[in-house]
Amino acid sequence: MIPQHNEILVALAGNPNSGKTTVFNLLTGARHHVGNYPGVTVEKVEGKRNYKDHTIRFVDLPGTYSLTAYSTEELVARHFILDEKPDVVVDVLDASNPERHLYLATQLMEMRTPLVLAFNMSDVAKGQGLEFDLQQLETLLGARIVPMVASKGQGMNDLLEAILETAVKQAAVVPMIPYGQDIEQELGKIERLLVEAHSEPAARYGSRWVALKLLEGDAHVCSKITSPDILQQVDASQVHLKKILGDTPDVLIADRRYGFISGACQEAIRHTVATRHDISDKIDLVLTHSKFGLLIFGALMYLVFYLTFTLGEYPMGWLESFFDGLGNAVIAVWPGEHLLWLQSLLVDGVIAGVGGVVVFLPNILLLFLGIAFLEDTGYMARAAFIMDRIMHRIGLHGKSFIPMLIGFGCSIPAIMATRILENRRNRLATMLVIPLMSCGARIPIYALLIPAFFPAHWRGPVMWLIYVIGIVAAIVCINLLRKTILKGESVPFVMELPPYRMPTWKGLMIHMWDRGWMYLKKAGTIILGLSIVLWFLMSYPALPDDRLVLLAEEEQHAASLQHSAAGRIGKAMEPVIRPMGFDWKIGTALIGATMAKEVFVTQLSIVYSLGDEDEDEETLTLLREHLRADYSPLQGFCIMLFCLLSTPCIATVAITRKESGKWKWALFQFFGLTAMAYLVTTLVFQIGSLIQGLM
Residue type, 375: E
Whole-angstrom CA distances from 606 to 107, 530, 570, 588 are 58, 12, 14, 10
How far is Cα 552 from Cα 612, in angstroms, rounded to an integer? 13
What is the model's pLDDT at position 209? 92
Q: Tell me the mean pLDDT per 10 residues along the chain, length 695.
A: 69 86 82 56 77 89 80 83 91 88 90 92 83 87 90 89 84 71 90 90 89 90 89 93 86 86 82 51 74 80 75 79 80 74 74 68 78 80 72 66 72 70 78 87 86 86 89 87 76 60 78 73 65 73 67 62 76 90 86 73 69 46 85 93 85 78 89 94 94 80
What is the model's pLDDT at position 421? 67
Q: Comparing C-alpha atoms, which of 331, 356, 329, 300 is closest to residue 535?
A: 356
User: Exposed, middle or buried: residue 174 (CB in 10 Å: 0-12, 13-18, 19+)?
Assistant: middle
Which run of H or of E encompasses 56? Answer: strand 54-60
What is the model's pLDDT at position 189? 93
Residue 552: CB atoms within 10 A of its CB come to 7
SS3 462: helix
- Taking a C-beta distance cutoff of 8 angstroms, is the pair 214, 225 a contact? yes
What is the model's pLDDT at position 523? 58
- Taking a C-beta distance cutoff of 8 angstroms, is the pair 65, 18 a contact? no
Handedness of CA 408, 412, 413, 416 (dihedral sign): positive
Bridge partners of residue 10, in order along the sequence = 58, 88
Write down the pTM of the prediction: 0.56
How far is Cα 546 from Cα 550, in angstroms, rounded to an integer? 7
What is the model's pLDDT at position 22? 84
DSSP 499-531: PP----HHHHHHHHHHHHHHHHHHHHTHHHHHH
Q: Comparing C-alpha atoms, which of 510, 515, 516 is closest to residue 241?
A: 510
What is the model's pLDDT at position 233? 94
What is the model's pLDDT at position 680? 95
Whole-angstrom CA distances from 210 to 104, 190, 329, 562 are 17, 9, 59, 65
Helix axes 181-196, 249-268, angle to 10 degrees: 120
Q: Provide the H-helix boundaries in 128-180.
A: 134-141, 156-168
Helix axes 443-453, 361-377, angle to 10 degrees: 110
Q: E strands of 124-262, at which residues?
A: 131-132, 144-147
Whole-angstrom CA distances from 587 to 439, 578, 582, 592, 640 are 21, 9, 7, 9, 13
SS3 179: coil
* Per-residue pLDDT reduced to its tens digit, 379-431: 877 777 777 666 666 666 666 776 777 777 677 767 766 766 667 788 888 88
Distance of CA 95 to the CA centre of its chain: 33
